[in-house]
Amino acid sequence: MLLETTRFLVQVNLEKSRCVILVNELKVINFLILSLIVCPMLL
């Protein structure tokens, strides 16, 4: 029982961290796209 619970918690934590990584990557991609669009306008 304890082993199962631990395994489940580890799984949930892995999913969470994967989500966080995804969100951060999306932020970076959005920032890059925005800078690509905005920089030529400023020049």
Could you read off the pLDDT of 3-32 as tens digits, one per residue?
A: 899 999 999 999 999 989 999 999 999 999
Q: What pLDDT is attached to residue 31?
A: 95
Domain ranges of the chain: 16-42
Q: Tally the residues of the chain.
A: 43
42 pLDDT higher than 90: no
State the Cα–Cα distance between residues 37 and 3, nearest whole angstrom: 51
pLDDT at 39: 81
Torsion angle defined by CA atoms of residues 12, 17, 22 and 25, in that order, rounded to the nearest 10 degrees = 180
Mean pLDDT calculated for residue range 36-42: 84
Torsion over CA: 32, 36, 38, 42 (sign): positive
SS3 1: coil
Structure tokens at 37: 């669009």
